[in-house]
Amino acid sequence: MARILIIDDDQAVCRLLAAMVERLGHAAVWACTAADGMQKVRTGAFDVVLLDVNLPDGNGIDMLPGIRRASSQPEVIIMTGYGGKQGAEMAIKNGAWDYLEKSEAPEATLLALKRVIQYREQVTGRQKDPVVLKLDGIVGADEGFRDCLNLLAKAAGGNMNVLITGDTGTGKELFARAIHQNSARARSNFVVVDCACLPETLVESILFGHVKGAFTGAGHDHNGLIAEAHQGTLFLDEIGEMPLSIQKSFLRVLEEHSYRPIGGQRERRSDFRLVAATNVDLEQLTAAGAFRKDLLYRIRALAVHLPRLAVRRADIRPLTVHHVHRFCERRRIEMKSCSTDFMEVLETHDWPGNVRELVNTLDVAVSTAVSEPVLFARHLPEHLRIRAVQSGLGQGQPSAGMGKTMTLKEIRKEAALKAEKQYLQELAARVGGDVREACRISGLSRSRYYELLKEHGLD
């Protein structure tokens, strides 16, 4: 029996949907506000949430990511009286199972509900013990980034083609390697093809290979990269740069997994898995006629979008610690710690070059402070320090009523309270509102736990 949560401000709609759910033999619970709905999601376990968009205290689309991150990870069916293409796109991108208009016949809702319950039963039936992924160099706990890691796990467990998108420096190749290393193909080759560097006159020979005498200079048979990827993974980096002239040929290879070397008389087979990456909008390229639409559909069986570092600032600190330790180990020098001013500069920078820029910056800092145990802002490149100082001008003056500079004891107390509040927030998110589990992990008594929540104004 599945548990269904209905979130709708119309009680008549809630009763109607609840009756429909119960006729199917499942349990229904409802809430009429966003706040009550989120509270029920955090404290209960649900398989499906039927969610209205327009609620008196919030928007259903905005609630989607929080609902999907709940411990029970329920599927969400959006129900709206004002459907539209933009709303549908936002809903699906935020993880909704379906997007329905309330004006549709009840049979449409019933069919969607039956399908999602069937899917949940199927997934639950084949669930195994959690698998620890190999994430060499991939660091991050930001909420949006965790969604990317979930997709990585899904991709590693299957054999579908994967398209990884994101700005330059967000770690697309690292993700592609992690998919390969965690897949059943990990023992075979991971073949990298940089489409931006493929000379158009040689691209077919590089990909498909050639036989001896196929053209001037072909003194011997040559296996192409597609042959090298047999039983492994073929990673096409910057696939948006693949010449249009070769896209049709590659589409056929992708569909048939067979190819013919230049000058060859017979087809050869290659059992490869494709992972592609790009930092451009392939939809725009297809609209401009620079990329084949049928190829886009073929390579995008599973899409993973990596966010910019500027929108996952919570990951700057763990990324810094990881890579500083890695550089120290590589150079066989004493491990270094990071001062407060060092971290402040890093956390306030916009990082247009994303993780790659951060890693290169840390490499320079460790090299600069090679014999010093602590990294200070002084060890960072000059342009970062100048920008940090400029951004802080006018913001460091005490406001009216501040009175005096804080003592060291006061600063320490304020920092401790801030860290304590952050710990409680992260703990509550981790346990999904389970007070008993929170007390077990933290070592706090139930009364002390509630007391601290009250002190910090946490629900």
Q: Tell me the per-residue pLDDT of 75-85, one tens digit each, with 9 for 90 and over.
A: 999 988 766 67
Domains within the chain, CATH numbers bracketed? 3-126 (3.40.50.2300), 143-305 (3.40.50.300), 310-391 (1.10.8.60), 408-455 (no CATH)
Q: Is 284 exposed, middle or buried (0-12, 13-18, 19+ CB in 10 A)?
A: exposed
Mean pLDDT (the chain) is 86
Angstrom distances, CA of residue 188 to CA of 155, 179, 271: 17, 13, 11
Total number of residues shown for the chain? 459
In this predicted structure, the answer to whether residue 86 has a pLDDT above a threshold of 60 is yes
Q: Tell me the per-residue pLDDT of 316-341, one tens digit each, with 9 for 90 and over.
A: 999 999 999 999 999 999 999 999 98
Q: Looking at residue 416, what is its pLDDT? A: 73
Element (H, E) at 437: helix 435-442
Q: Looking at residue 124, what is its pLDDT? A: 63
Sign of CA dihedral 448, 452, 457, 459: negative
DSSP 49: E
| Mean pLDDT to the nearest integer, 62-69 | 88
In this predicted structure, the answer to whether residue 168 has a pLDDT above a threshold of 90 is yes
Q: Tell me the per-residue pLDDT of 196-253, one tens digit each, with 9 for 90 and over.
A: 888 877 888 889 988 887 777 777 888 889 999 999 999 999 999 998 888 999 999 9
Between CA 14 and CA 459 the distance in angstroms is 26
Among 90, 103, 28, 102, which Cα is nearest to 59's?
90
Between CA 225 and CA 231 the distance in angstroms is 12
In this predicted structure, the answer to whether residue 361 has a pLDDT above a threshold of 90 is yes
Q: Looking at residue 399, what is its pLDDT? A: 38
Among 137, 175, 133, 134, which Cα is nearest to 325's?
137
Q: Tell me the per-residue pLDDT of 97-140, one tens digit each, with 9 for 90 and over.
A: 888 887 776 778 888 899 998 888 876 655 544 557 888 889 98
Please give the sequence-ordered ranges of beta strands (E in DSSP) within 313-400, or none if there are none.
337-338, 374-375
- CB-CB neighbours of 119 under 10 Å: 14
In this predicted structure, the answer to whether residue 12 has a pLDDT above a threshold of 50 is yes
Collapsed DSSP state (helix, strand, coil) of residue 304: strand
Q: Tell me the per-residue pLDDT of 298-309, one tens digit each, with 9 for 90 and over.
A: 999 999 999 999
pLDDT band for 404, please (50, 70, 90 cuts). very low
In this predicted structure, the answer to whether residue 382 has a pLDDT above a threshold of 70 is yes
Between CA 346 and CA 207 the distance in angstroms is 41
Q: Tell me the per-residue pLDDT of 286-300, one tens digit each, with 9 for 90 and over.
A: 999 999 999 999 999
170 and 311 Cβ atoms separated by less than 8 Å: no
198 and 237 Cβ atoms separated by less than 8 Å: no
Between CA 28 and CA 50 the distance in angstroms is 10
Between CA 103 and CA 79 the distance in angstroms is 10
Q: Looking at residue 70, what is its pLDDT? A: 83
For residue 222, what are its two tokens?
């040559």
Q: Please indicate whether residue 182 or residue 122 has the higher confidence score (pLDDT).
A: 182
Between CA 250 and CA 385 the distance in angstroms is 47
Least confident of 104-118, 353-367, 412-426, 433-447: 412-426
Phi then psi for residue 137, to 5 deg, are 85, -10
